[in-house]
Amino acid sequence: MSNDTERNQRHKRAMQRKKALVDERIAAADIDKGLMVVLTGNGKGKSSSAFGMLARSVGHGLRCGVVQFIKGQWECGEQLLFDSHPLVEFHVMNTGFTWETQDREADITAAKSTWTHASALLKDPDVDVVLLDELTYMLTYGYLDAEEVLSCLKQRPAGQHVIITGRNANAALIEMADTVSEIQDTKHAFNQGIRVQKGIDY
Ligand code: ATP
Ligand code: MG
């Protein structure tokens, strides 16, 4: 038998074993529920991943709500795309980054008024997916009451998915979530003096 034939046969046997294991795990996962997904860490990819899930959801005809807790300096493409979409309700906090406003009281007022949209979405059983972009900072800075946020998340409709992004997600959020990804900052173009790029960064 040639080396190639032997290698191909070994590969086929390994793949058969792998498929049996994967199929077994797929068959065992038979629970459906509204998921809580937390995307945190210092690397790039939290909000863009969250909006990727929103795109999937909209593609499937699910009703979605987005609340962005920090308004960036640049108008982001995801807002331009989804703002007027009939399946998406989109709210953006009307202040900039916290280090730009430099006004704690004004930030707290804005955070609380923005939270009213989130809490309404989290009570609406007709909303399938809720994306709370950059929510973690509202808890880290103490702009929102953590107990209230956590209880709202816990009491949301059983089938409703919620996606939360932002660095330094607090321990209670991580504990409550079903899926948590911590995105590592291995390398970022910005640190090489490259300015933000349309489509990639916003
Ligand atoms: P994205 O929206 O691109 O998925 P993100 O949500 O993970 O990024 P944020 O902390 O919300 O990250 O920052 C948003 C902006 O900051 C984006 O323009 C992104 O490219 C940039 N950014 C994200 N991570 C880093 C980093 N580690 N260094 C420098 N800039 C970053
Ligand atoms: Mg983000």
The conformation of residue 9, written as its DSSP 8-state character, comes to H
Using a 6 Å cutoff on CB, does residue 43 contact ligand 1?
Answer: yes
How far apart are the CA of 59 and the centre of ligand 1, in A? 25
Same domain, 102 and 50: yes
- Give residues with Cβ within 8 angstroms of 125, minimum separation 6: 157, 159, 160
Site to substitute for ligand 1 among 39, 44, 71, 167, most atoms within 8 A of C-beta: 44
Sequence-distant (6+) residues with CB within 8 A of 57 are 64, 128, 129, 161
Same domain, 18 and 112: no
Query: Do residues 8 and 54 share a domain?
Result: no
- By CB atoms closer than 10 A (0-12, 13-18, 19+), residue 183 is middle
Atom of ligand 1 nearest to the CA of 185: 27
25 and 37 housed in the same domain? no
Which whole-number Å values give the CA distances from 86 to 148, 166, 191, 192, in the listed order? 29, 26, 38, 40
Residue 171 lies in a domain: yes
Nearest CA to ligand 1 atom 25: 44
Question: Is residue 26 located within the same domain as residue 40?
Answer: no
Same domain, 139 and 105: yes
Instruction: Specify the number of domains making up the chain.
Output: 2
> Quick check: CB of 198 below 6 Å from ligand 1?
no
Q: What are phi and psi of 194, to 5 degrees?
A: -90, 125
pLDDT in single tens digits along all 202 residues of the chain: 788 999 999 999 999 999 999 999 898 888 899 999 999 999 999 999 999 999 999 999 999 999 999 877 778 999 999 999 999 999 999 777 677 778 889 899 999 999 999 999 999 999 999 999 999 999 999 999 999 999 999 999 999 999 999 999 999 999 999 999 999 999 999 999 999 999 999 9
Based on the fold, state whether residues 101 and 5 are members of the same structural domain. Answer: no
Ligand 1 proximity of 119 Cβ (cutoff 6 Å): no
Count CA atoms closer than 13 A to 191's CA, side-chain side.
Answer: 6
Query: What domain range is 3 assigned to?
Result: 1-30
Q: Are residues 43 and 9 in the same domain?
A: no
Q: Record the pTM.
A: 0.92
- Look up residue 15 and give its amino acid: M
| 23 lies in the same domain as 123 | no
**Ligand 1 binding pocket includes 71 (Cβ within 6 Å):** no
Same domain, 148 and 89: yes
Residue 67 sits in the same domain as residue 12: no
